[in-house]
Amino acid sequence: APGVRPAALVKGYALAGDSASVNSFLQKVEASAPSEEWLSNFRDFVGLKAIVPVSLKQGAFAQALAFVEGRLSPRARDTGFGAVCISAADHNRSHVATTAFESLSSSADNSEPALALTAMHIRSGNMELAHQYMRIAEIPANQPQMLELSTLFALAYIGAGQADIGTNVGLA
């Protein structure tokens, strides 16, 4: 795969907080790229294996989203948007998570990002949006994720003083 070692180097620089070295290294690679196709593959690989994961790990969700939007090729963007959406939703960063979800192409598998948004909205008590994203995820009733989400829904309703709804949650 193009850029396995360079991706590790970029990830190391990024984890160390050395953005100047990251940028310098990437500029050198870009200047010596043998072709535009190679450069596009390199950017996608390094972006998805190093830059985006490190940004998300460091809580720089908007930065990761901007990188996906501006630097990844169209074929890699859905993977990047999905990762940003899931991580941002897991950290209750609603605006970034929603923007990333809405940026997914129509051909993307949006089930995992939709599940992350469902859980985020349950945690925030926005049951209407939680149900909306749950419908988008289209999870069969016999899947473990459905049991987890049913439990989250039930606990949220019970916690909000709506035990009658919480004890009768049936999402199938």
Q: 57 vs 21, 61, 75, 122, 157, CA distance in Å? A: 19, 9, 23, 23, 31
Angstrom distance (rounded) from CA 3 to CA 27: 14
**Chain centre distance of CA 17:** 22
Q: What is the pLDDT of residue 5?
A: 79
Between the two ends of the chain, the Cα-to-Cα distance in Å is 42
The Cβ of residue 162 has, within 10 Å, a number of other Cβ atoms equal to 13
Ordered per-residue pLDDT tens for the chain, 172 residues: 555 677 788 888 888 877 788 888 888 888 888 999 998 998 899 999 999 999 999 999 999 999 999 999 999 999 999 999 999 999 999 999 999 999 999 999 999 999 999 999 988 989 889 889 988 887 666 677 766 777 776 777 777 776 666 666 654 4
To the nearest 10 degrees (0 to 180), the angle between helices 111-124 and 144-159 is: 20
Model pTM score: 0.81
